[in-house]
Structure 1
Amino acid sequence: MDKIEQDKTGMFRPAWFSALLKGQLPLGETFWVGNWGTALFHQPLLALLVVLPLPSAVPGVLAVLLACFELALVRAVLIAKPGVPTPVGWRVAGVIVTLAIAALFASFARTLFS
């Protein structure tokens, strides 16, 4: 139990992001926390940037960065080792969902820059 608590205290720090994007974390953590854990931070920021009276390029740049992050996360999901025996279909689904999220951010950025 202490090891689990110790592992969780390092989340969302630079070393954790490095391990995440290198695919060194378990597949479940890479997919779930990489996509939705990080969204707890970037989605409120993106929503705030969209409604503030700022040039649309400001949230557009963030959307481009998030699309790039998601593409890096696709690679990490592809190479991450499962923490438990996992059917291949879950990895394929994770890659498809993460690619779809990257496409959504890219589409949003394109809309903001148009």
Structure 2
Amino acid sequence: MIGTNQILAEIRDRGYKGAERTLRRWLISIRGRNTPAPVPPAPPPTRDITGWIMRPIDNLTDEHQAELERLCGLCPDLAAIRDLALARARSASEARYPAAPSKTSGRSR
């Protein structure tokens, strides 16, 4: 790490005419700005995400539901895939188990 005095000497050689105190205040103001951003957690394996999408939402743990919602919030394409899978599951369920006809549907007036 370079000290303030060394920086001051180098910039004075380049024509800086300001005070040492001004340089110190500026250095304090920018300290910490170059810290690297925290590394985001690794995404879950593709197999897990696929399983969460393909399973009925009621069969997922609260943790898995929350993680799927978080991932869908980050990726619109994933949200669209989830929505398509849910719609497909609903239509397949309706085809397998059609709604019972209502008692009044067969009567004519």
- Same fold by TM (over 0.5)? no
Bigger relative contact order, structure 1 or 2, given CA contacts below 8 A and separation 6+?
Answer: 1
Larger Rg: 2
More helix by share: 1
The TM-score, its normalising length taken from structure 1, stands at: 0.30
